[in-house]
Amino acid sequence: MKRSIKMNSPEWIKYIGVLLIIIFASCSQKPTQIINNPIIDGYYADPSVVQHNDTFFIYATIDPWGGEELGVFTTTDFIHFNQQQINWPTKKQCTSPTSRSAKVWAPSVVKAPDKLFYMYVSVGSEVWAGVAEHPLGPWKNAKDDASPLIKGDFIPGFHMIDAECFVDDDNRAYLYWGSGWDWVNGKCFVVELNKDMITFKTDPLDVTPDNYFEAPFMIKRNDVYYLMYSNGKAIDATYNVRYATSDSPMGPFSEASNSPVLKTSSDSTIYGPGHHAVFKYNHQDYILYHRIYPQKERYVLRQLCIDSLNFDENGFIKKINPKGVGKFTE
């Protein structure tokens, strides 16, 4: 026999109260937002990202193969983006007697110990350095004579591009750069920078790890230095992200046994991923990279993507799951 509950009984009042609590709790929960890849409409590559206050500033190559300037975006959640424009670098401003025809490529932006922002960018197959008080500038050449930081013929036989700056816990700064020609013989060079962030404290060292071609990026975890980089051809499915480790930012570096950590997927939904940046937010590491948008033209078009970057209990970087990430901010 069923037991009925009178609407004015204590049991009924208790039942209604519990029901209201459940309803209010479910209504107060924010819907989970998914950051889908690619994160930005359009075709961009070689991203760099820096956080200033609550805003992330993304700088990238404009495809195909660079433009007269950089692509620049701001975001607070990696879902909504605002396109920006900065005054430097441009192909016109960054041309020297040793420049080649290559346009504006591959920026690296960092906040230095002096609280200024520094950019290291490839223009004309050589590295130029800029400085600004704010991520959106105004920017200017960091060298008084407006010359390149690393000339195209600085180390003959190798491609002077893809510079990436790393500031260590002790505020010492290091610059990594280098690639090869015609998809072969890539070299990675490193130099410690003086406090002015543009002069070399040491002579450059060749610290090329196994299976390196270009796009070095340095991170540090638990006193281990992880030199991440790209290998393969940036024009096809062979492009991938690898890493090597050392107990010093100046190497020598040994490639990890589980490298590469990001490559073309079996179903080709991720195709030719590489040339990345890594950043941390809310104690989580993220990798920002480009992937190729396959098409039949003679040039490549690339798209910006983001995924989580994680470490296992032995300090190895885990294989990256290229599915995008969940809600980025709380």
Q: List residues with catalytic annotation.
A: 46, 214
Phi/psi at 18 (5° precision)? -65, -40
Residues comprising the chain, all counted: 330
Token pair of 172 as six digits: 């010492």
Helix (H, G, I), strand (E, B), or coil: what is residue 228? Answer: strand
- Do the strands 274-281 and 254-255 form a parallel or antiparallel pair, or are they unpaired? unpaired
Cβ–Cβ < 8 Å for 86, 49? no
Question: CA 259 to CA 243: how far, in whole Å?
Answer: 6
- Name the helix (H) or strand (E) containing 62: strand 55-62
Query: How far is residue 301 from each of residues 65, 202, 271, 292, 325, measured CA to CA in Å?
Result: 8, 38, 11, 6, 23
Q: Could you say which DSSP state residue 169 is in?
A: T
User: What does the angle CA 297 – CA 300 – CA 304 come to, to the nearest 5 degrees?
Assistant: 140
Pairing state between β 301-309 and 240-246:
unpaired
Q: Minimal CA–CA distance to 274: which of 246, 303, 310, 299?
A: 303
DSSP letter (8 states) at residue 22 = H
How many Å apart are CA 159 and CA 177, to the nearest integer?
Answer: 9
Residue 97, CA atoms < 13 Å, CB-side half-sphere: 0
Rounded Cα–Cα distance for residues 257 and 76 (Å):
36
How far apart (Å, rounded) are the C-alpha atoms in residues 284 and 309? 8
Contacts of 237 (CB under 8 A, 6+ apart): 264, 268, 271, 272, 292
Q: Record the tokens describing residue 214, joined without a space.
A: 């270009």
